[in-house]
Amino acid sequence: MEWTDERVATLKGMWLSGYTARQIAERLGGVTRNAVIGKAHRLGLSTRPSPIRRHEPVSMPRVVERTCQWPIGHPGSPEFHFCGEEAVSGKPYCDKHCGVAYRRSSQDSGS
DNA sequence: CCCTGATTCGC
DNA sequence: GCGAATCAGG
């Protein structure tokens, strides 16, 4: 079928009225809902009262920034990992490792 | 398993 | 530009 001005007008009207792509396709005849959706996109429609919501491209809540980044084991070895405990707010380490990381701030107490 | 729209991709 | 196939979710 051809997308005449009349058929396009029907598509627009129904789409904007909230009809599903399938309903529109049935009304028009000779087209599938895929055709309707594809055409709707080309018309600049789309994103309208749709029952589903796609996941936004937002990566997971910065879990990494909330977990202790204190290295455990030797870097490069299979056993190497980070502490992973809940980190102190604003710090890259948990409370325990903050103590290790930030002690002797003004003096060297030796090994 | 039915449905929804979104996107991709060969034509 | 078109729309089936596919994707991603309800």
Separation of CA A28 and C1' B1 in angstroms? 27
Nucleotides on chain C within 7 angstroms of protein Cβ:
1-6, 8-10
**pTM for this model (two decimals):** 0.56
Instruction: Show the domain range for A13.
Output: 5-42
Nearest to A93 by CA among A54, A59, A67: A67
Q: If DSSP states are collapsed to H, E and C, what string results for A53-111?
A: CCCCCCCCCCCHHHECCCEECCCCCCCCEECCCEECCCCCCEHHHHHHHHCCCCCCCCC
Do residues A66 and A27 both lie within one domain? no
Residues A5-43 have pLDDT tens digits of 999 999 999 998 889 999 999 999 899 999 999 999 999
Do residues A105 and A72 both lie within one domain? yes
Is position A22 within any domain?
A: yes
Do residues A107 and A61 both lie within one domain? yes
Total domain count for chain A?
A: 2
The percent of residues in chain A predicted with pLDDT above 90, rounded, is: 51
Residues A34-83 have pLDDT tens digits of 999 999 999 988 777 666 667 766 665 666 678 899 999 998 888 999 99
Do residues A62 and A110 both lie within one domain? yes
Do residues A66 and A26 both lie within one domain? no
Do residues A38 and A60 both lie within one domain? no
